[in-house]
Amino acid sequence: MEFLDPIPNVCEGLPFEEGDFVLLNFWGDNEDLKILDIISEHLSKKGVLPFKHQCSNWFFEKVVLNLIQNDPGLTKEYIKYLSTFKNVVDIFMYPPSLPNRITEDEIPKLKNYLGKLFNALSDDKKYYIQLNVPTEVNATKAGLDYHTYLSDMCQALSVDFPRLKKACQDKVESLKDKTHIEIITGDRYSLKLDVSNRKWYVDDGCGDFPPGEVYIAPVETNSHGDLLVPTVNFKGETYKDVVMTFENGKLLKTSSKELNDFFSSLPENFKVLCEFGIGLNPQVKELIGYSPIDEKSLGSYHIALGMNHFFGGENKCPFHMDFVFTCDEVIYN
């Protein structure tokens, strides 16, 4: 299966309705524009008006750098204009990177520009949706074989969206009055979360693709206990049966020296247990070691460290790291 195959299904699953105006922000080059055009075509069949905007490598090399160097003040108006869109789909053929001819002095300016661009695209939206196209560049970034990445992503995107949306809503309905969660992993590990007065969120095609999870931001100061994570992939290395210990809502330690060294170097708010999620996509058949796909697998669960202010939490930081696991028992009270 090629990525073009599930595009009609993806567009049907997107939450937009007739009359909606949607910014399609495309991180790709001219030879990739067929993908942007096909997405636009299928959205228009639903009566959705797509507005195409391209952030190519050429655009950053030849336009953005000139604006940064000349500093005419136009970038402020440009960012302000992009912020007016209330529905955004960010489509990535590759992650943003530094232009070849950028100087050391210009790097902070570009990073500042990228931060403002991201905020303009994501803040105060009805829907902000991210779609990573299964390209070789994105596969390398994910640490996966390209054919595995392509196959698993396309399979996940082929989900029956009406059934997925119902499954997500049913799960949220069953959990909406619960205030505490206990996760039992292994023979003796228990992690307790407080979700009092927190809202469950649904990703059934309105968040990070592939879709298929419900998730919540636990109270940041009230997670306690131990969690056994079967596999943690980090900086090209795989760590097995990692035990994570939490106290007062923050990661205290892990059973891995290498991971401990990394987490001890982070600011305190990066170590906050910020999310608990439940995977509900039946088209994700197995865990492949890449959390953006694994966390959507039906029967999987995940927690995360770091940022959660986008989904009902109070921890605002530029870091979010997921840990996916399966377990025999999750108790909701």
- 194-238 residue pLDDT tens: 999 999 999 999 999 999 999 999 999 999 999 999 999 888 889
Write down the pLDDT at residue 1: 79
246: closest CA among 272, 218, 224? 224
Q: pTM for this one? A: 0.90
- 231-261 residue pLDDT tens: 998 888 899 999 999 999 999 999 999 999 9
| Residue at token pair 């970038």 | 75
Cα separation, 55 vs 44, in Å, equals 22
Cα separation, 254 vs 227, in Å, equals 9
Q: What is the largest CA-CA distance in the chain?
A: 63
206: closest CA among 6, 17, 2, 8? 17
**Residue 230 in contact with residue 189, Cβ under 8 Å?**
no
Q: What is the mean pLDDT of residues 136-150?
A: 94
- Annotated domain spans of the chain: 7-133, 161-332
In CATH, which of 3.40.50.10490, 2.60.40.180, 3.40.1830.10, 1.10.1470.10 is domain 7-133?
Answer: 3.40.1830.10
Instruction: Point out the least confidently predicted range of 125-129, 232-236, 292-296.
Output: 232-236
